Structure 1
Amino acid sequence: MEKQHLYTQTHTPPAPRCARLSRSDDVRPRAPGLSVRAQLGTRRWARWAGAAMAAVFDLDLETEEGSEGEGEPELSPADACPLAELRAAGLEPVGHYEEVELTESSVNPGPERIGPHCFELLRVLGKGNYGKVFQVRKVQGSNLGKIYAMKVLRKAKIVRNAKDTAHTRAERNILESVKHPFIVELAYAFQTGGKLYLILECLSGGELFTHLEREGIFLEDTACFYLSEITLALGHLHSQGIIYRDLKPENIMLSSQGHIKLTDFGLCKESIHEGAVTHTFCGTIEYMAPEILVRSGHNRAVDWWSLGALMYDMLTGSPPFTAENRKKTMDKIIRGKLELPPYLTPDARDLVKKFLKRNPNQRIGGGPGDAADVQRHPFFRHVNWDDLLARRVDPPFRPSLQSEEDVSQFDSHFTKQTPVDSPDDTTLSESANQAFLGFTYVAPSVLDSIKEAFSFQPKLRSPRRLNSSPRTPVSPLKFSPFEGFRPSPGPQELVEPPLPPLLPPPPPPPPSSTAPLPIRPPSGTKKSKRGRGRPGR
């Protein structure tokens, strides 16, 4: 009977109830050689541990009828914290432990509530007609201290034009649904009364445009590396029925390691599978396929034309067809002769020619094989595609960064500006706000990190110089009012994790922020002078 008293409590514990959570499940007696499990017996030990967990999670425990242990005293929620009783019996937990108050919020925090107040502004990375792109740091909730790029769009300017609303819809939907090593990752999307926010991974290597402008041209090996990663990204988009339609150096970012990431998905077209075509006139003129210009209907083959124009740009210093104005540039794309410099290798010349076939059915990648046909071309014969996809191939250029806050690879015209997110004082009508229903999103990877932290177990364009860019962007002209944001397929609530033998300590509470979007100058930023102008511009 004395043993029974050691593991059942008849008094009411004081409130609030606390548990001492050990990092180790090793609970040893002061007398060597005698464990708690040995004193209780396996069955009774399991029932005691189950009652402790039931008290924390407010669960009802059921016992099979006629099971072993009948007649044993029932364990109440008070038994969840028998530390004093254990010590009275000569038992002492060993290892490091701390006292933690168990509350509903600390045990089951629920979905993260995300908003502008969760981020601290660091730098301006870019600016457009509809908003800005900031470098920010997460200061509340999960992923504390992580650096992101925050794209802020003004609703009032977007809803004025149906094509701009479609641009925003497409970008948000595709960023949610597409996950690939060479495509930028969306972490959060949320909105306030007057603004839309996209929280993206921060790609501190800057634009490929900046590096191409600095170098003038790339060596073939360098171009081959970037073209290979882009090919895998385009192939993945096509496999999901998505045409990219705006491939150019300004929309290709580099990670801190030097790998590419496609960004800016506002001109994408979804649900275009084998045999389907679309007629929207959109893109950037110098990289647009002729079938878009003549409006004969186009499919995913337009992306391979754009990749050919980009390849030509990398190897020669300018796109293949340029002129002093937009009309003449379009005429050259439709009817002009392709001229190749003599220094290109035979494989490079052959691939450029096959990319820039005006008949999309004859264009490499334009058939059912899509990206696989491109990958088999001799220009890529030295590429190990499995290693490339796993990012085991060293990039030809790795940005020189002093810290994760370093913005030296971005245009100093923007990064020198004071980062300010202007007050959100615009109020849209209820009908106007209907266009943004379902915009809010939290990435499944973020939800997983929240669960791990609390589990109990051992056309805003991409940031670039909009005014000085030689490109001529063209926006889509079609929009269906019936298209909307797809509801997020990811988990909307946190599911209770399985219960382990003992409770480890939860993480410390995040610091609170009283002022929304505080401004703090980053440290360790390296400044660099970049070359201006490129051959052929």
Structure 2
Amino acid sequence: MKMSTFWSEFLNAAANHPFPSMPIDLLSPFDLQTNEEFFPNVPAAPGMPCAGEDRSIYRRGARRWRKLYRVNGHIFQAKRFNRRAFCAFCQDRIWGLGRQGFKCIQCKLLVHKKCHKLVQKPCSNEHVDPIEVKDDANGESTLGRASSVRSRAEIEPPLPETPPAPAPAPPRADELEPGSQRQYSLDDFELIRVIGRGSYAKVLMVELKRTKRVYAMKVIKKALVTDDEDIDWVQTEKHVFETASNHPFLVGLHSCFQTPSRLFFVIEFVRGGDLMFHMQRQRRLPEEHARFYAAEISLALHFLHERGVIYRDLKLDNVLLDHEGHIKLTDYGMCKEGVRPGDTTSTFCGTPNYIAPEILRGEEYGFSVDWWALGVLTYEMLAGRSPFDIAQAADNPDQNTEDYLFQVILEKTIRIPRSLSVKAASVLKGFLNKNPVERLGCGENGFLDIVSHPFFKSIEWEMLEQKQVVPPFKPRLEGERDLANFPPEFTDEPVHLTPDNDTVIADIDQSEFEGFEYVNPLLMSLEDCV
């Protein structure tokens, strides 16, 4: 009997024949027999989802918590200024690339990043007198202070009602004259299928019409890139994609282009699916498989670290398998670039289950957080579960929260399954050391400590980096466009982009995306040979 039918008959009976009902008569889901099911279907095989069950609910997305700086009641946030602005403390001009200044989100006070700790005037929670830029008789800029407090609309004039005419669309790649610089547009690609979706982006499988080659296309709506931090991560992702194009275990970039409403990354299409998809079917991996994947991931991370990039988003979802079974890391939106040896950063970001203790403690951190995440991922491959699995506490609301998960990561002693070998247990303890100074890969010898660890003794590192080691598992694929290794909740989606909204486009500052276009010169030369 359906639940709706039961309650309908129950209420009719209660209306005609009143009777007492005690709470003890109520049925709790935890009292159900084990053969009861919440999904109206039976899985095709153990570990497989039921029909109608959405696996995406089990994927934890990465987040970047907004960084605020509190000084004397001010709440400063890093800000990029597109107009002339001057520091309220030292009265020098605020300029430069990136988020070069701070702005109080309450009183709108503008200061240099270097000056914000020196501000002694308490925040009034009201708009302060902004510093004006006045032109004297000689046409030179001088500083003056406004005579009265003005509204934010007066301080920061709104965009003109009539937006500037959009630039003409670039010519199609096949319309260019020989020898001219190639640019790509949406017209150059055939949209085939949706293969992924995130908080900000949709990922499509596409075909370049001129060469018939298949790529993945990451599509980001500009309207969702709402503040300076979002713009920064888009630029960072592009830069890391360019760098990654030279490594066998990192997804590389083909090209970038834009329309008035969207940004497009055209990247390598990796056909074997991600490790999350395969782990949901295999539950756990043999040590030989986990060792192979962990070694290739280590090489990819080491490559990024040598080039000053902290990855910060290693997880099963971001480890892809190519058609041969080699791994490729993808999704560089959480990366931190420009990190030199000894440099640190402090942004609170990542996927909750993989965040390192030093991030949770609010400490400055460096490349150590990537080796911690590799430890979590290796544990998941070997044990079939997270080292911080709080699913057993689902019946206790106080223990089923993100804060509780962070407490577990900081305080819980990690238990290594007894079924694992001594070498596997040792490498997990090394990567999952809560002290980043003592963590495997973070000592004086750095990456060499990982290479020489007994768990990786059987790895021929030079051959591995040249992809001369046969992978332990090869995804089953039937043709270049086979999507059997991608979740059907994505591939079953209709392939289309929603029509542009002129009102939304008018509110987008297109100058923020100048210079986004890019074509990988190596791939372009290869296509010229087709």
The TM-score, its normalising length taken from structure 1, stands at 0.62
Q: How many Å separate the matches in 2 of 1:282 and 1:107?
A: 46
Q: Find the partner of 1:145 among 207, 212, 215.
A: 212
Match of 2:224 among 154, 157, 177: 157
SS of 1:167's equivalent in the other structure is helix
CA contact (8 A) 1:111 1:447 kept: no
1:351 to partner: Cα distance? 0.8
- Structure 2 equivalent of residue 111 of structure 1: 181
Determine if contact 1:121/1:134 at 8 Å carries over to the other structure. Answer: yes
The aligned residue for residue 443 of structure 1 is 520
> Partners of 2:343 and 2:201 in 1: how far apart?
34
- Tell me the distance in 2 between the aligned counterparts of 1:341 and 1:431: 52
Are the equivalent residues in 1 in contact too, given 2:222–2:508 (CA < 8 A)?
no
| 1:132-161 CA-partner distances (Å, limit 9, x unpaired) | 111011103xxx100000111110111x23
- Identity in percent: 38
| 1:126 aligned partner, one-letter code | G
Q: 1:268 to 1:368 in 2, by over 3 A?
A: farther
Counterpart of 1:522 in structure 2 is none
The aligned counterpart of 2:381 is: 314
Give CA deviations for 1:474-507 in whole Å, capped at 9, x if unaligned: xxxxxxxxxxxxxxxxxxxxxxxxxxxxxxxxxx
Give the 3-state SS of the residue equivalent to 2:191 in structure 1: strand
Aligned equivalent of 2:348, options 262, 281, 298: 281
SS in 2 for 1:402: coil
Residue 392 of structure 1, CA deviation = 1.1
Specify the alignment match of 2:266 in structure 1.
Answer: 199
**1:309-345 Cα deviation digits (max 9, x unpaired):** 1111111111211322211110111111111111111
Contact 1:360–1:366 (Cα < 8 Å) also in 2 = yes
C-alpha contact (below 8 Å) 1:122/1:135 kept by paired residues: yes
Q: Is the 8 Å Cα contact of residues 272 and 485 (structure 2) preserved in structure 1?
A: yes
Task: State the SS of the aligned residue for 1:302.
Answer: helix
Contact 1:304 1:365 in 2 (8 A): yes
Change (3 A) 1:106 1:422: closer
Distance 2:488 2:344 in 1: 41
Aligned-partner Cα distance in 1 for 2:214–2:263: 19
The CA distance in 1 between the partners of 2:358 and 2:297, in whole Å, is: 22
1:525 corresponding residue in structure 2:
none
CA contact 1:287–1:319 (8 Å) conserved in 2: no
In structure 2, what residue type is equivalent to 1:122? I
Displacement after TM superposition at 1:131 (Å) = 3.4
| Distance across 1 between alignment mates of 2:379 and 2:260 | 45
Shift of 1:107: 7.7
Alpha-carbon distance in 2 for matches of 1:371, 1:237: 12
Equivalent in the alignment of 1:366: 442
Structure-to-structure mapping, 1:43-192, within 5 angstroms? 108-140=178-210, 144-158=211-225, 160-178=226-244, 179-192=246-259
Query: In structure 1, what is the Cα distance between the partners aligned to 2:199 and 2:279?
Result: 25
CA contact (8 A) 1:155 1:194 kept: yes
Deviation at 1:373, TM superposition (A): 1.5
| CA contact 1:305–1:356 (8 Å) conserved in 2 | yes
Give the unaligned 5+ runs of structure 2. 1-174, 391-399
Does the CA-based 8 Å contact 2:257-2:264 persist in structure 1?
A: yes
* Paired residue secondary structure (1:373): helix
**Secondary structure of 1:110's aligned partner:** coil
- Superposed displacement of residue 431, structure 1: 7.4
Q: CA deviation at 1:452?
A: 4.2
Distance 2:280 2:468 in 1: 27
Q: Tell me the secondary structure at the aligned position of residue 289 of structure 2.
A: helix
Q: Is the 8 A contact 1:121 1:136 kept in 2?
A: yes
- Per-residue deviation at 1:368? 3.9
Counterparts of 1:290 and 1:301, CA distance in 2: 10
Amino acid at match of 2:484: S
SS at match of 2:263: strand
Asked if structure 2 preserves the Cα contact closer than 8 Å seen for 1:244 and 1:269, the reply is: yes
| 1:386 counterpart residue number | 462
Taking the aligned partners of 1:108 and 1:165, their CA distance within structure 2 comes to 34
What secondary structure sits across from 1:352 in the alignment?
helix
Identify the residue that residue 414 of structure 2 maps to in structure 1: 338
Measure the CA separation in 2 of the matches of 1:413 and 1:287. 25
Partner of residue 499, structure 2: 423
Distance 2:209 2:500 in 1: 20
Which amino acid letter does the alignment assign opposite residue 473 of structure 2? F
Code of the aligned partner of 1:165: I
**Distance between the aligned counterparts of 2:423 and 2:252, measured in 1?**
34
| CA–CA separation in structure 1 for the residues paired with 2:183 and 2:308 | 32
C-alpha RMSD of the superposition: 1.7
SS in 2 for 1:190: strand
Contact in 1 for aligned 2:249/2:328 (Cα 8 Å): yes
SS of 1:258's partner is: coil
- Residue 372 of structure 1 deviates from its aligned partner by 2.0
State how far apart, in whole Å, the 1-side matches of 2:237 and 2:176 are.
35
Match of 1:55 in 2: none
Show CA shifts across 1:396-417 (max 9, x none). Answer: 1111111101111001111112
TM alignment of 1:239-258, pairs within 5 A: 239-258=306-325
Aligned partners of 1:430 and 1:146: how far apart in 2? 36
| 3-state secondary structure, aligned to 1:312 | helix
The residue that corresponds to 1:54 in the other structure is: none
Q: In 1, are the aligned partners of 2:183 and 2:519 still within 8 Å (CA)?
A: no
Q: Aligned pair in 2 of structure 1 residues 368, 237: CA closer, same or farther (>3 Å)?
A: farther
Cα 1:131/1:289, change in 2 over 3 Å: closer
Q: Which has the higher contact order (CA 8 A, sep 6+)?
A: 1
- The CA distance in 2 between the partners of 1:437 and 1:295, in whole Å, is 34
How much has 1:451 moved relative to structure 2? 5.0
Task: Give the counterpart of 2:402 among 318, 323, 326.
Answer: 326
Query: In structure 2, how many angstroms separate the alpha carbons of the residues matched to 1:285 and 1:114?
Result: 37
Whether the 8 Å CA contact 1:285–1:330 is kept in 2: the answer is yes
Q: Deviations over 1:78-125 (max 9, x none)?
A: xxxxxxxxxxxxxxxxxxxxxxxxxxx998341223100000011111
Is the 8 Å Cα contact of residues 120 and 138 (structure 1) preserved in structure 2?
Answer: yes
Distance 1:165 1:377, change over 3 A: same
1:450 is displaced (CA, Å) by: 4.9
The corresponding residue for 2:430 is 354
Q: Structure 1: where are the runs of 5+ without partners?
A: 1-104, 454-537
8 Å Cα contact 1:152-1:196 kept in structure 2: yes
Q: Equivalents in 1 of 2:421, 2:201: separation in Å?
A: 44
Which residue of structure 1 lines up, in the alignment, with residue 336 of structure 2? 269
For normalisation by structure 2, the TM-score amounts to 0.63
Find the aligned partners of 2:187 and 2:468 in 1 and give their Cα distance: 37
**Structure 2 residue matching 1:379: 3-state secondary structure:** helix
Q: CA shift at 1:430, angstroms?
A: 8.8
Query: 2:176·2:182 contact (CA, 8 Å) conserved in 1?
Result: no
Partner of 2:288: 221
2:473 pairs with 1:397: yes
How far apart are 1:231 and its partner, in Å?
0.4
Distance 2:301 2:199 in 1: 28
Q: Please give the secondary structure, in 1, of the residue aligned with 2:204.
A: strand
